[in-house]
Amino acid sequence: MTEEEMSWAGAGAIVEAVRAGEVSAADVVGAILTRISGLDSVLRAFVTVCGEEALAAARAADARRPRGQSLGLLDGVPVSIKDIILTQGIRTTAGSRLQETYVPDIDALVVARLKQAGAIVIGKTATPEYCHKTVTDSPLTGETRNPWDLNRTPGGSSGGSAVAVAAGMGPVSIGTDGGGSIRLPAALCGVAGLKPTTGMVPQWPVTPGWDLLGQTGPLARSVADLQRVMQVIAGPDPRDPDSLFEATKLPRGRPRVAWARSLDDLEAEPDVGSALSATVAAARRISNRLDGVVLNWSDPDQQFRVIACSDLASALGYRLASERDRGAMDPTLVQMLEFGQGLTGSDLARALRWRRMFAARVLTWFQDYDVLIVPTAPVSAFTLGTLGPRIISGRKTSPFAWFNWTWPFNVTGQPALSLPVVSAAELPVGIQIIGRRGEDALVMSFAQQLEKRLRSDARPRLAPA
């Protein structure tokens, strides 16, 4: 393999090549670090790069191999970690000046499992401050740029992870998703991203702020690599009580599939609509039943916002008492914390009752279908410096309307995967595949079958600086 080939190889291909002796883990890690060095001063996907540590881990992996001591499914594979997830001995900033120098003395469980399987942590990826918005910029790191168009956003809040994978700076990254934060940047950057069923990937310990809605999951350039990573990081642990359940086995036969073009009469932009049509056409061949449906799953009272802001304020609201801390924070985070502090216990209780009723409504609807196909977002990547487009398909919208198709499945706890549809002539878009709780394997299997029919070799045209 050349350095270029190693940069674009998937996790499975790297494991096979290293085990076959075609390349060493140190070669692969070196190629990835070289690419990061050449590109990231412009893209700003990484907050911290662990070059020396990663090369040492790669050499240790290479030394184990002749003795038959391969660690597992990800042995020798470079992996990046979103900078909200704790990493022992590597600073975890959460995109904030408030913890710019914080170095945890423990790995989050997901990181520990990756290392046990032989993965090599190459660095921490950019996030907006405490993951509070769906574009990736922060007072600490500035704006992260989309590799398909440097004047556009990669989305967020796992934007650094999506950019790293999309630009060939590692085959796999681990992100978090509290309202679309894995799926949205995956869609805008042309990679695959999975928000698992709530509890499928145990979370411990966590950076407080997204305890009620957030989940941890992988981003990669193929569904096969998502499946490989999930085999490593999924499974119960008593330190996360939400994880104490068994996943549903992959059912036999073709699934019953529904698809929807719009939400509350908000139509997707033409490029997204074309990608959806292509996906539906591909799904027709692998479905037992395929129905077009009209759905109205809005949140007119913004109870989702009440839950999210209450959670953030409970974790960070005390910081507002310090003028120094307030001045160091992103102004939009300050606004969310102020809103959250103004809420009452009754407000949160009302929102949690809404969540229960909303989830019951959606999960009941899923009794008739195994899979739902919808756009991940109604738009492709938009210009840097904005929170979201104000006009979608000619209709004036809130800047938050563009993630209305992702947050519902954080509320319900269902698995949702963003599958990239990439045209050489256009920006990538994402199509979302949603399943019933616990049926992550079915979602990934169905997405992989679609991927075979929709796969494109298009890549962002990047030249090292």
Annotated active-site positions, please? 82, 157, 181
**Exposed / middle / buried, residue 66 (Cβ in 10 Å: 0-12, 13-18, 19+):** exposed
Would you tell me how many other CB atoms lie within 10 Å of the CB of residue 384? 18
> For residue 377, what are the CA distances in angstroms to 67, 269, 276, 396, 447?
48, 9, 11, 16, 17
Name 138's bridge partners: 142
Instruction: Output the furthest CA–CA distance in the chain (Å, rounded).
Output: 63
Range list of H helices, 202-269: 223-233
User: Dihedrals φ, ψ of 288, to 5°?
Assistant: -75, -30
Tokens at 140, concatenated: 């600490």
Residue 450 near residue 373, CB atoms below 8 Å? no
Distance, in Å, from the CA atom of 16 to the CA atom of 31, rounded to the nearest integer, reads: 17
Radius of gyration, alpha carbons of the chain: 21
Would you tell me how many other CB atoms lie within 10 Å of the CB of residue 322? 11
> For residue 416, what are the CA distances in angstroms to 18, 36, 97?
32, 29, 32
Q: Assign residue 200 a region: left if phi > 0, alpha if psi is -120 to 50, beta otherwise?
A: alpha
Name 250's bridge partners: none
Tokens at 168, concatenated: 């060939």
**Exposed / middle / buried, residue 312 (Cβ in 10 Å: 0-12, 13-18, 19+):** buried
**Exposed / middle / buried, residue 302 (Cβ in 10 Å: 0-12, 13-18, 19+):** middle
Residue 314 near residue 208, CB atoms below 8 Å? yes
